């Protein structure tokens, strides 16, 4: 058996104890703990004894045992601060190359972090202007439908407002918001588009939205009351006073009962006007479809304000009870409602029917993580170079210690130096921040509406604090390193000191740095190639030169006829929606052989759509009849996948033509349709989803008609050599049809590009970061190479005298660094490859295999590194040995 006497308590715990404990109490206390430890080993075993020892060390951390902070030392450090600053400035000035490398590297890394701080700050300041913001919640839904589809919605069933008012105690106020108020306001014959929310009077009490004019208690009470913001009042009435005026919109008259101060930029709710909810209440009450519990598709939002002493858990429990009750009554859908705190909306999940685009928290974490890596890399540079330079500062530190500097003073001095460098970097990074800010905002268009990235005083303070933290982080290791220098070694002949101590540590830092850099740049390369591939992907139909114009409730016939008259237009068709960009419209098909109906994606198109987009019909033909009403349609064209999914005619396209199926949508009863054509499979969804069953039905003049016009798209194929000229002509045609609204037209290829904008934004961000990471890593490497060659200059000269060629010397000097790069590449490339192959690209079933782009980044990084290493070592190798060897020391 092992001798029990030899087992000692955990050393770190003993050190911790001696660190915090008062000197006069320490010895006795340590002894006591040892005595107990010895006892416990015998009774309870070694592991448990150690555990008890550690627990006891923590337990003795009490006011009477803890050492008072050593004021004298702190005081001296403060007094010395001036001296530290002076010597640091001298040191910075003396080593221009290293100071520049450090300052530039840190500045580049910090500018990215500044951007991120500004970005996060903006996002976090959303909705904070609400005085009672902490008590405000939005109700969100998680719905699961009979057909198997389930999703999370920002919207709620419309009847929840009434239910909460009746059944839930603890809710001070609730307002339903309906986001579908829109139309053209007629102001003395001028038509001005106006949008807004239908809102209850409580809206103005829940949110801090002060009225400039009008009575907040009654402004939203009467039906057909409208409250305008100051900006929209100006838009509608110019300089005239809008208050009390009447707005004629969609054949109804609205009275302006209030003027709202403009909604703050950092409000997730943005609107031009509020219309009293009582305006639409009668309409809602009459519509059984709207009142359905499972109907979360309408743009109805519920916001509640809790009573001051109310508990959100209790309210949530009440909501759960209501949901359970209603779910029992509704056979079609199960809805679970949750309270979402107001402050979490902007950075919450991306929900369906979101009232505005949000920035999911995870995105911020990812970008934050990447920025952290970049700044870490810059700190590595500092640490690395400072320690590598240590030989030159050994004597300084030794002398300081001789004249009485303690460890803490040496530490303070080196920390002061790194903080000074970091503050200089802050100045530079601030300029860079101003330069890259506009670039950053244009990465994604929605960012422009989301953040301002303005510089304010609290910001400046935050930046300042940030740079000090960075300075301390960068200088910590060198400070610790130098404070532990022993006087004797420092003052003895420097060459005998172990200057290359910590070499493996520094090498490890370089490897980490380059590994991260390579991962960044390789990801960018792979992402870019995949993105290009997605844009050029053959979707199964032709999108080239097709301009899609949103109908915006105008008469389609007139527009089509005028467009056809243009010589550049070679074809025009109509459709319900744009496919392949993420839009979906679904229906349910039932076929005789199969009991349950199943989901198919649909589009409603006219007879010109299929030829215009060059869909390939492998059996049957285009629509034959031209029905005049929805109910008269009798034909359907499906894709191959539909035949397989429903096993129609055993999947044989030729035989499937003529088969009858039943199609039903969300609000329609079944319609019997005959298959007249079968299309080759194509991509209806985005490329991150598989090909699914798709069916086209014929477009009739009464399809998707709303109260005052018709939505949908006009697809125009243009053949032109001068697209700007043609667009101008088309715009002219549009203006002759609709003078009020500007044309909303976009080429199909551009829409597809927009559909993947999040992908391109991500690539741009990572690309930018990889550029910065390369710059920093290269700077660091440059510093290391310069140092290594300078230190070995004499050795090189002697080798030269002995007859080594320049080539030999370059090889000798750069071998070590190249090895480091090779190790980095061996770590980085497999990681990146596996990450993409196993995690990212599996989400895109139609991706291209990763090819040579895997090595593109490596070549770039290697190229830059080799140029630097090569140029520096060559310089050293070509130096004149006589010059160098001439001077002793």
Partner 1 sequence: MKGTNLGEFEELVLLTIAALINDAYSVGICDELEKQTGRTVKLGVVHAVLNRLEEKGLVKSKLGEATQARGGKRKRYYSITSAGKSALLKSKEVRDQLWSMIPQLSLKRI
Which of 64, 71 has the CB closer to partner 1? 64
Which range, of 21-29, 348-356, 668-676, 811-819, touches partner 1 by CB under 8 A? 21-29
Q: How far is the CB of 64 from partner 1 (least distance, A)?
A: 5
By CB under 8 A, residue 28 contacts partner 1: yes
What 3-state class would DSSP assign to 722?
Answer: coil
**In the complex, what is the shortest distance from the CB of residue 60 to partner 1, in angstroms, rounded to a whole number?**
6
Piece of 56-64, 110-118, 540-548, 562-570 that binds partner 1 (CB under 8 A): 56-64
Q: Cβ of residue 35: shortest distance to partner 1, in angstroms? A: 5
- How far is Cα 479 from Cα 413, in angstroms, rounded to an integer? 8
- Asked whether position 36 contacts partner 1 by CB under 8 A, the answer is yes
18 touches partner 1 by CB under 8 A: no
The answer to whether residue 822 forms part of the interface with partner 1 (CB under 8 A) is no
User: Binding of partner 1 at residue 15 (CB under 8 A)?
Assistant: no
Q: Which of 568, 506, 536, 523 is nearest to 788 (CA)?
A: 506
Collect contacts of 864-869 with beta carbons under 8 A, ≥24 apart: 864/774, 864/778, 865/514, 865/778, 865/781, 865/817, 865/818, 865/821, 866/814, 866/818, 868/778, 868/781, 868/782, 868/785, 869/781, 869/785, 869/813, 869/814, 869/817, 869/818
- Please say which residue, 19 or 313, places its beta carbon nearer to partner 1: 19
Single out the residue of 4, 12, 15, 31 in contact with partner 1 (rule: CB under 8 A).
31
Q: 55 or 503, CB closer to partner 1?
A: 55
Cα Rg, the chain, nearest whole Å: 36
Shortest CB 306 distance to partner 1, Å: 44
Shorter beta-carbon distance to partner 1: residue 58 or 505: 58
Going through 262-419 in order, the beta strands assigned E by DSSP cover 273-276, 300-306, 333-341
DSSP string across 468-537: HHHHHHHHHHHHHHHHT--HHHHHS-GGGS-TTTTHHHHHHHHHHHHHHHHHHHHHHHHHHHHHHHHHH-
Q: Say if CB 143 and CB 294 are below 8 A apart.
A: yes
Among 4, 7, 8, 498, binds partner 1 (CB under 8 A): 8
DSSP 298: S
| Site membership for partner 1, residue 67 (CB under 8 A) | no
What is the DSSP track for 626-695?
A: --SSGGG--EEEEEHHHHHHHTGGGG-HHHHTT-EEEEE-SS---EEEEEEEEEPP---S-TTS----EE
In the list 56, 88, 91, 760, the residue contacting partner 1 (rule: CB under 8 A) is 56
Examine residue 34 and tell whether it contacts partner 1 (CB under 8 A): yes
Size of the site for partner 1 (CB under 8 A): 17
From the list 32-40, 423-431, 702-710, 875-883, the region that binds partner 1 by CB under 8 A is 32-40
Among positions 59, 96, 283, 286, the unique one binding partner 1 when judged by CB under 8 A:
59
Q: CA-to-CA distance for 199 and 187, rounded, in angstroms?
A: 23
Return the axis-axis angle of helices 96-124 and 71-94, rounded to nearest 10°: 120
Which range in 59-67, 363-371, 441-449, 764-772 contacts partner 1 by CB under 8 A? 59-67
How far is the C-alpha of 600 from the C-alpha of 642, rounded, in Å?
A: 8
Binding segment for partner 1 among 54-62, 328-336, 363-371, 879-887 (CB under 8 A)? 54-62
Q: Which is nearer to partner 1, 62 or 595 (CB)?
A: 62
Question: Residue 32 Cβ, how far from partner 1 at the closest point, in Å?
Answer: 5
Stretch that binds partner 1, among 58-66, 214-222, 348-356, 505-513 (CB under 8 A): 58-66
Is residue 60 near partner 1 by the rule CB under 8 A? Answer: yes
170 Cβ partners below 8 Å, 6+ apart?
A: 306, 307, 310, 311, 314, 315, 318
- Is residue 808 within the footprint of partner 1 (CB under 8 A)? no
Output 31 or 709, the one with its CB closest to partner 1.
Answer: 31
- Minimum CB separation from partner 1 for residue 52, in Å? 10
30 touches partner 1 (CB under 8 A): yes
Please give the residue ranges that form the binding site for partner 1 (CB under 8 A).
8, 25, 27-32, 34-36, 38, 56, 59-60, 62, 64
């Amino acid at each position: 058996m092992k001798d029990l006497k030899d087992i000692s308590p955990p050393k770190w715990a003993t050190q911790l104890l001696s660190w915090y404990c008062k000197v006069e109490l320490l010895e006795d206390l340590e002894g006591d703990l040892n005595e107990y430890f010895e006892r416990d080993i015998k009774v309870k075993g070694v592991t448990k004894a150690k555990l008890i020892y550690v627990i006891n060390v923590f337990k003795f951390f009490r006011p009477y045992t803890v050492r008072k902070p050593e004021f004298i030392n702190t005081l001296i450090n403060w007094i010395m601060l001036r001296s530290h600053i002076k010597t640091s400035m001298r040191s910075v000035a003396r080593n221009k190359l290293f100071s520049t490398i450090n300052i530039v590297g840190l500045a580049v890394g910090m500018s990215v972090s500044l951007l991120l701080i500004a970005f996060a700050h903006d996002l976090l300041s959303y909705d904070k202007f609400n005085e009672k913001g902490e008590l405000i919640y939005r109700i969100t839904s998680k719905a699961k439908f009979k057909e198997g589809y389930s999703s999370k919605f920002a919207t709620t069933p419309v009847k929840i407002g009434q239910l909460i008012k009746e059944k839930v105690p603890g809710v001070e106020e609730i307002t339903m918001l309906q986001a579908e108020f829109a139309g053209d306001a007629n102001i003395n014959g001028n038509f001005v588009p106006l949008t807004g929310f239908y809102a209850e009077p409580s809206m103005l009490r829940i949110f801090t939205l002060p009225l400039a004019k009008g009575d907040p208690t009654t402004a939203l009470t009467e039906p057909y009351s409208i409250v305008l913001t100051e900006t929209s009042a100006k838009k509608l009435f110019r300089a005239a006073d809008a208050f009390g005026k009447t707005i004629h919109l969609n054949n109804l008259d609205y009275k302006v009962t209030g003027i709202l101060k403009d909604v703050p930029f950092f409000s997730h709710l943005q609107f031009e006007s509020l219309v009293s909810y009582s305006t639409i209440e009668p309409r809602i009450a009459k519509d059984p479809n709207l009142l359905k519990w499972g109907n979360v598709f309408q743009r109805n939002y519920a916001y509640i304000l809790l009573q001051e002493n109310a508990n959100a858990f209790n309210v949530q429990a009440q909501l759960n009870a209501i949901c359970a009750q209603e779910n029992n009554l509704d056979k079609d859908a199960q809805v679970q409602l949750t309270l979402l705190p107001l402050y979490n909306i902007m950075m919450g999940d991306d929900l369906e029917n979101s009232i505005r685009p949000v920035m999911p928290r995870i995105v911020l974490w990812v970008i934050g993580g990447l920025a952290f890596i970049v700044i870490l890399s810059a700190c590595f540079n500092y640490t690395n170079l400072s320690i590598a330079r240590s030989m030159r500062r050994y004597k300084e530190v030794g002398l300081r210690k001789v004249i009485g500097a303690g460890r803490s003073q040496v530490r303070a001095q080196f920390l002061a130096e790194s903080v000074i460098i970091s503050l200089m970097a802050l100045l530079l990074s601030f300029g860079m921040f101003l330069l890259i800010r506009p670039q950053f905002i244009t990465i994604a268009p929605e960012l422009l509406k989301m953040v301002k990235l303005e510089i304010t005083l609290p910001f400046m303070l935050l930046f300042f604090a940030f740079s000090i933290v960075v300075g301390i982080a960068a200088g910590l290791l060198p400070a610790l390193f130098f404070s532990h220098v022993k006087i004797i070694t420092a003052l003895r002949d420097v060459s005998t000191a172990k200057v290359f101590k910590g070499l493996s540590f520094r090498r490890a830092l370089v490897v980490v740095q380059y590994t991260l850099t390579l991962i960044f740049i390789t990801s960018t390369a792979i992402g870019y190639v995949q993105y290009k591939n997605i844009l050029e992907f053959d979707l199964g139909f032709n999108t080239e030169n097709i301009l899609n114009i949103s109908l915006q409730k105008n008469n389609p016939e007139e527009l089509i006829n005028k467009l056809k008259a243009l010589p550049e237009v070679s074809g025009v068709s109509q459709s319900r929606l744009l496919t392949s960009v993420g839009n979906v419209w679904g229906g349910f098909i039932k076929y005789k052989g199969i009991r349950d109906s199943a989901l198919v994606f649909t589009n409603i198109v006219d007879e010109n759509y299929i030829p215009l987009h060059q869909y390939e019909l492998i059996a049957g033909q285009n629509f034959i009849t031209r029905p005049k009403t929805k109910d008269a349609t009798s034909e359907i064209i499906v894709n191959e996948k539909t035949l397989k999914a429903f096993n129609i005619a055993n999947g044989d396209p030729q035989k499937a033509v003529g088969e009858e199926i039943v199609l039903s949508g969300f609000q329609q009863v079944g319609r019997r349709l005959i298959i007249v054509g079968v299309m080759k499979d194509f991509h209806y969804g985005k490329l991150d989803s598989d090909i699914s069953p798709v069916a086209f039905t014929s477009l009739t003049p009464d399809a998707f008609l709303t109260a005052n016009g018709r939505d949908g798209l006009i697809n125009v194929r243009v053949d032109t050599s001068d697209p700007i000229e043609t667009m101008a002509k088309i715009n002219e045609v549009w203006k002759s049809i609709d003078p009020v609204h500007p044309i909303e037209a976009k080429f199909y290829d551009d829409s597809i590009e927009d559909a993947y904008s999040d992908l391109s934004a991500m690539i741009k961000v990572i690309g930018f970061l990889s550029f910065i990471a390369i710059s920093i890593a290269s700077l660091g490497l440059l510093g290391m190479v310069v140092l290594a060659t300078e230190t070995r200059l004499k050795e090189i000269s002697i080798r030269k005298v002995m007859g080594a060629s320049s080539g030999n010397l370059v090889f000798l000097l750069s071998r070590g660094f190249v090895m480091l790069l090779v190790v980095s590449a061996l770590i980085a490339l497999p990681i990146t490859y596996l990450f993409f192959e196993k995690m990212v690209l599996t989400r895109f079933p139609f991706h291209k295999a990763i090819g040579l782009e895997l090595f593109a980044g490596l070549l770039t990084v290697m190229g830059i590194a080799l140029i630097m290493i090569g140029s520096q070592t060559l310089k050293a190798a070509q130096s004149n040995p006589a010059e160098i060897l001439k001077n002793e020391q």
